[in-house]
Structure 1
Amino acid sequence: MSASRSNAPYYFVPGPSRWPVLAGLSLLLTMIGASAWVNHVSWGSYVNIAGVMLTVIVMYNWFGDAISESESGKYSARIDVSYRWSMSWFIFSEVMFFAAFFGALFYARSISMPWLADIDHKLLWPDFSGQWGNAGPAGTVDAFTTMGPFPIPTINTALLLTSGVTLTISHHALRAGQRGKTAFWLFATIALGAVFIGFQAYEYIHAYHELNLKLTSGIYGSTFFMLTGFHGFHVTLGAIMLGVVWFRVMKGHFTPEQHFAFEGAAWYWHFVDVVWLGLYIVVYWM
């Protein structure tokens, strides 16, 4: 937010905007394309890419309007409170999003598998052991190798934990008015996130081509790729958010007292770090 609040209204109400409707339509187009793509529909990839491009254009213009309003001194302390509550509820919704996938993993591994392997089902599936990471009781899934914690998941854990430290250093530097130090450590955080994504892409290539572990590899494959894939998507979003904040820092935005855009992006990044710790333990170790 801008440092100038002396002339800000009690509560700034923006005029009518076309961006919310366009954002909803672009996201709908993106998900329709993604759904068609994973189901091998020929036009799915084109629709998905078009939806993503439209979403980027909408977000660029929408957030640009918000930044202009902030830097022109239209935002008061009450707007700051609104943004903080909005970001808090957004992160809470993300917590529930990942809770659903963690819940699916728990149900499949701790309830369904032992149930299918108990004595009542031995007549139907006598060779089914119920061990997590199997090919299923019906034998319809190709054999695959499960993913262990070494070395890439452990390296990625170190990368994300380190990025949390560099981001905290950057935040303290901003609060101390040290803009150069803020930009340096913020850029280091973004770079660590980019390396994380690179390692995850390599891990996926290794899983598909060497372990035969795919999204279609039963409940293990679907939960593995849904959890780690959506987390990687959130890391990408967080890195983009931090990248926008970095450009704003370089342009002279923010003050030691008022910099919620930085704080909001930092909240999101720390949330992504915590989710990964849960993934690292539950998906790769247990």
Structure 2
Amino acid sequence: MISKKLINTKILNRKENSILTSTNVFNYIKTKHSWHLVDPSPWPIIAALAAFTMTSGGVFYMHNYINGGNLLTLGFFMLLYVMFTWWRDIIREATFEDQHTFQVQRGLRLGMILFIVSEIMFFFAFFWAFFHSSLSPVFNIGGVWPPSAITIIPTSGIPLTNTFFLLSSGATVTWAHHSIIVRAKKQSLIALLCTLILAILFTCLQGLEYVEAPFTITDSVYGSCFYMTTGFHGFHVFIGTCFLFISFLRIVYNHFTSTHHFGFEAAAWYWHFVDVVWLFLFLAVYWWGGLS
């Protein structure tokens, strides 16, 4: 009898231990933590293929290969599609799945800061080329800056107007940010709409300036530096405008709260970066670079 009881007791203990062990494993799998383990996604590899297709198509198009332009167009639209779907998934993770905890947002902020630093280095190269050419003009352009054959764009015209528009947009985007913090949805929408209008006006005037400019990108190093610097800045303004427009839509759909709105914060940081770059560009390229 004793042996049977001992055997039954051991069997029961084993069953309980196995149940506890399986429960512990289950609890371990379901453990909540502060970090976001990203689900498997097809978009990185598709984005890489789209970028490869677009760049290859661009090279083929520039060398007049048959269907090079079609390959370039295919890669471009593939990239747009991946951007839409990938960012859609990120918005879903942040807004509906509550995956972007405080620690995750800290990592995203650090990533955005490093991205803006890399953009600063990108523009630093163009400013370096501009100052290298203007502080020590070579004999090929007459030894003077700006080159004697170049008719410069008046600083007090479109450049000064664009400076007013862009700096004003920096103020309105800050207004929108503070409105989100204090939960004033209507004020944030009005402020962000003003920012978008100012950004579109800036882009339109920049395009008008290019149409009426008395020189082209092929007119000596002055034309190259001018169009490369202002052109890439205009491209960044376009990207920032799209960034702010998506934030505007997300405010309309109540995706942001007073404490969880990093998507808008990233757009605002990027827009302030665009403002600061333009301020340096206006002072260096338009005003100082245009002094004869």
Question: What interval of TM-score do these two structures reach, taking the shorter chain for normalisation?
Answer: 0.7 to 0.9
Q: Structure 2 counterpart of 1:81, which letter? A: R
Structure 2 vs 1, CA of residues 50 and 110 (structure 1 numbering), >3 Å: closer, same or farther?
A: farther
Distance in 2 between residues matched to 1:8 and 1:105, nearest whole Å? 53
Counterpart of 1:240 in structure 2 is: 242
1:15-34 C-alpha deviation (Å, 9 max, x unpaired): 22222233233334444555
Q: Structure 1 counterpart of 2:241, which letter? A: A
The reply to whether residue 106 of structure 1 matches residue 119 of structure 2 is no
Aligned mate of 1:58, from 72, 82, 101: 82
Is the CA contact 1:33–1:48 (under 8 Å) kept in the aligned structure 2? yes
Q: CA deviation at 1:214?
A: 1.1
Counterpart of 1:4 in structure 2 is: none
How is 1:92-131 mapped onto 2 (pairs within 5 angstroms)? 92-111=117-136, 113=137, 116-117=138-139, 129-131=142-144
Q: Structure 2 counterpart of 1:80, which letter? A: Q
Aligned mate of 1:21, from 30, 45, 50: 45
Structure 2 vs 1, CA of residues 106 and 28 (structure 1 numbering), >3 Å: closer, same or farther?
A: farther
Counterpart of 1:91 in structure 2 is: 116
Counterpart of 2:257 in structure 1 is: 255
Structure index of larger Rg: 2
Give me the TM-score of the superposition, normalised by structure 1: 0.82
Counterpart of 2:168 in structure 1 is: 162
Distance in 2 between residues matched to 1:48 and 1:283, nearest whole Å? 33
Q: Structure 1 counterpart of 2:229, which letter? A: L
Q: Secondary structure at the match of 1:238?
A: helix
The reply to whether residue 11 of structure 1 matches residue 35 of structure 2 is yes
Q: Secondary structure at the match of 2:41?
A: coil
Q: Structure 2 counterpart of 1:82, which letter? A: G
Distance in 1 between residues matched to 2:270 and 2:284, nearest whole Å? 21
Q: Which of the pair is proportionally richer in helix?
A: 2
Structure 2 vs 1, CA of residues 189 and 40 (structure 1 numbering), >3 Å: closer, same or farther?
A: farther
Q: Structure 2 counterpart of 1:257, which letter? A: T
Counterpart of 1:78 in structure 2 is: 103
The reply to whether residue 189 of structure 1 matches residue 195 of structure 2 is yes
Structure 2 vs 1, CA of residues 27 and 102 (structure 1 numbering), >3 Å: closer, same or farther?
A: farther
Q: CA deviation at 1:52?
A: 3.0
5+ residue gaps, structure 1, are 1-6, 118-124, 136-142
Q: Secondary structure at the match of 1:230?
A: helix
Distance in 2 between residues matched to 1:25 and 1:223, nearest whole Å? 32
Q: Structure 2 counterpart of 1:95, which letter? A: I
Counterpart of 1:271 in structure 2 is: 273
Give me the TM-score of the superposition, normalised by structure 2: 0.81
Identical counterparts, % of pairs: 37
Counterpart of 2:153 in structure 1 is: 147
Q: CA deviation at 1:188?
A: 1.1
Structure 2 vs 1, CA of residues 197 and 130 (structure 1 numbering), >3 Å: closer, same or farther?
A: same
Q: Secondary structure at the match of 1:10?
A: coil
Distance in 1 between residues matched to 2:285 and 2:186, nearest whole Å? 39
How is 1:210-225 mapped onto 2 (pairs within 5 angstroms)? 211=214, 213-225=215-227
Counterpart of 1:134 in structure 2 is: 147
**Larger relative contact order (C-alpha < 8 A, sep ≥ 6)?**
1
How many residue pairs align between the two structures? Answer: 256
Is the CA contact 1:190–1:242 (under 8 Å) kept in the aligned structure 2? yes
Q: Structure 1 counterpart of 2:192, which letter? A: L
Q: Structure 2 counterpart of 1:110, which letter? A: L
1:159-198 C-alpha deviation (Å, 9 max, x unpaired): 0000001111111111010011111111110111111100
Structure 2 vs 1, CA of residues 105 and 8 (structure 1 numbering), >3 Å: closer, same or farther?
A: farther
1:30-68 C-alpha deviation (Å, 9 max, x unpaired): 44555676x584766555444332222111111100000
Is the CA contact 1:9–1:76 (under 8 Å) kept in the aligned structure 2? no
